Amino acid sequence: MLSEADRIEALEAAQKLVACLSENSESSRSESTRVLALRITNHVIRSLEKPEDGLMKFAYSPTIWMAIRTCVQLNVFNILVEKETTSAREIAERSGADEALLRRLLRVLTSYGYVAEKGDGLYGVNKWTKHMQNRLTQGMIKFIFDESMPAITAAPEFFKDNGFQNPVDPRNGPYQKGLGIDVPIFPWLALPENKERWDAANTFFEGDRGSRPSWVTWFPVKDELLSGKIDDLAPLLVDVAGGRGHDLMEFLDQFPSVTGKYVLQDQQQVLDSAISLPPAVEKRAFDFFNEAPVEGAKIYFMKFIMHDYADPEALRILKHIRSSMKKGYSYLVINDFILPDTGCSLIAAEWDLMMLTLMSSMERTESQWRNLLGAAGLSIKGLYQPPGDGQGIILATL
């Protein structure tokens, strides 16, 4: 039975939700409003949900993730999107999987709304099914499931063995305990025998922002970064450890009339997989732990790099970048989460724990960003937050 207190709490939250979405204006359809509405909706659910049921739902939720990962491996989502309705028998014949197993996996996914149920053993598509067959989505599913699940499982025992201290050693964390290795995650994934896992990681990194807006769509790029004289002999933008150049391409697409030299820097094997870059982008291999990027650029850009490393390793990277920057001219643009001291969004808090388990690293608060960059000899010109709950921009100079 629903208690009177819970009924009132749910009703008040529902009224806030209706008020949030009722206004017929541009702001009511904004990303900020969408994220706020989701938070209020979760409040309604928590008010109505009994703790026993809610906790049991979370306890069994890994089965959903397992079913999704298995269906990706069997190419189920790609099969489903080909036509309006597909039978379990046809999926079994095309995937080579047992029909009884498929029905059990899909039962979970239809219950959760990720696959449409059209009848007994008949399945269709919805927006979730279509999203699951996307190349970037499947890279994320493979990377997060294959790499994080052993680490998450090993984490409680790792914490206990290490006196519940915050892990900061990239060679000794939950990931290493879960996989039985003693090297950091990226050097291990880059080994030839892990080629498929490394490819999944780099595919995920192409789309790891999700639906959240790109920084070039909301940050005042022209006012903050492109005003004043530009040195035509030096690069306009260096994408530091930029993977396959997806963020660099977004910059070029957003500012097609801004001419200049562009450089993508990463490990050689990563650059070799960046095959869709325009001639304006030069690829240069480097190791940011031991080398400085190209000198004298106007903009040094890093997305989701600093959160991969605890302060000692992050400082090494930042000091190399600082040595390449030109005083009074160069900017360092860091696209990363800026955690609030209170009221943190769920996705940012979860991402922080993912960094803990995989990298022995962290997402940072404003004060942590200021301390880190100050120790590297850099000054923060501004911290900027995007609409909704996405990654912010930390703008730094010498």
User: Is the separation of the CB atoms in 264 and 248 below 8 Å?
Assistant: yes
pTM greater than the 0.85 cutoff: yes
> What pLDDT score does 28 carry?
63
Output the CA–CA distances (angstroms, integers) from residue 44 to 7, 14, 20, 41, 333, in the order listed. 10, 6, 14, 5, 38
Cα–Cα distance, 152 to 141 (Å, whole number)? 15
User: Is the separation of the CB atoms in 263 and 238 below 8 Å?
Assistant: yes
How is residue 353 annotated by DSSP? H
Give the DSSP H or E segment for 378.
none
Q: What's the distance, CA 123 to chain centroid?
A: 30
- Point out the residues of the chain with pLDDT beneath 50: none
Topology of domain 62-132 in CATH is: Arc Repressor Mutant, subunit A (1.10.10)
What is the sign, positive or negative, of the torsion defined by CA atoms of 147, 148, 149, 153? Answer: positive
Q: Does 307 participate in catalysis according to the annotation?
A: yes
User: Is the separation of the CB atoms in 68 and 114 below 8 Å?
Assistant: yes
Structure tokens at 43: 């409040």
Query: 3-class SS at 385?
Result: coil
> What pLDDT score does 25 carry?
67
Cα–Cα distance, 105 to 90 (Å, whole number)? 15
Output the CA–CA distances (angstroms, integers) from residue 82 to 92, 106, 119, 126, 260, in the order listed. 15, 17, 18, 12, 43
Q: Which strands sit side by side in the sheet containing 379-384, from one edge to the other?
A: 281-285, 261-266, 235-240, 299-303, 331-336, 392-397, 379-384
Output the CA–CA distances (angstroms, integers) from residue 234 to 10, 68, 178, 261, 360, in the order listed. 58, 47, 45, 7, 36
Q: What's the distance, CA 173 to chain centroid?
A: 20
> In sequence order, what are the beta bridge partners of 239?
264, 301
User: Is the separation of the CB atoms in 364 and 339 below 8 Å?
Assistant: yes
Query: 3-class SS at 248?
Result: helix
Residues with Cβ within 8 Å of 239's Cβ and at least 6 positions away in sequence, in order, are: 245, 247, 248, 262, 263, 264, 265, 301
> What pLDDT score does 27 carry?
66
User: Is the separation of the CB atoms in 357 and 174 below 8 Å?
Assistant: yes
The one catalytic residue in 43, 131, 246, 307 is 307
What is the sign, positive or negative, of the torsion defined by CA atoms of 94, 197, 355, 164? Answer: positive
Indicate the angle between helix axes 4-22 and 31-48, nearest 10 degrees.
Answer: 160
> What pLDDT score does 66 carry?
97
Q: Which of 234, 236, 235, 214 is nearest to 225 (CA)?
A: 236
First to last CA, the chain: 62
> What pLDDT score does 322 carry?
97
Give the DSSP H or E segment for 116.
strand 116-119
Task: Give domain 215-397's CATH superfamily.
Answer: Vaccinia Virus protein VP39 (3.40.50.150)
Cα–Cα distance, 358 to 189 (Å, whole number)? 12
> What pLDDT score does 9 carry?
80
Torsions phi, psi for 235 (to 5 deg): -65, 145
Q: How many other CB atoms are found less than 10 A from the CB of residue 241?
A: 22
User: Is the separation of the CB atoms in 371 and 386 below 8 Å?
Assistant: no
